Amino acid sequence: MFPLDDLARVAEDLRKLSVDATYTILYGLHRAVEGLEIGEDFFPLWELSLPENQAALEKFDFAAIKARRAPDWSVEPRKYARGTGV
């Protein structure tokens, strides 16, 4: 398991394992969201940190993480995506 406190390093380590990974920061309406681009998909840090995604993350199964997303999934955490955040 990679520690998620340094996503740039995680991306570098994943590339060494032949995973197309890039550390990225997306700037949205409410905040900047850091995460990993895996191929053409973006996985925000908040999503990678969810307990239900830990087993998939340990296996580098980003498809499983993506499959868990709700139909109304957003890059921003739910409190911002639904307009209730500050």
Q: Which two tokens stand for residue 9?
A: 């390093």
pTM value is 0.85
The string of pLDDT tens digits covering residues 32-85 is 999 999 999 999 999 999 999 999 999 999 999 999 999 999 898 876 444 444
Task: In whole angstroms, give the CA distance from residue 51 to residue 47.
Answer: 9
The domain limits of the chain are 7-80
Task: In whole angstroms, give the CA distance from residue 42 to residue 8.
Answer: 14
**What is the mean pLDDT of the segment spanning 12-38?**
93
DSSP string, 23-72: EEEEE-SS-EEEEEEETTEEEEHHHHTSGGGHHHHHTT-HHHHHHT--TT
Place of tokens 């990225």: 24
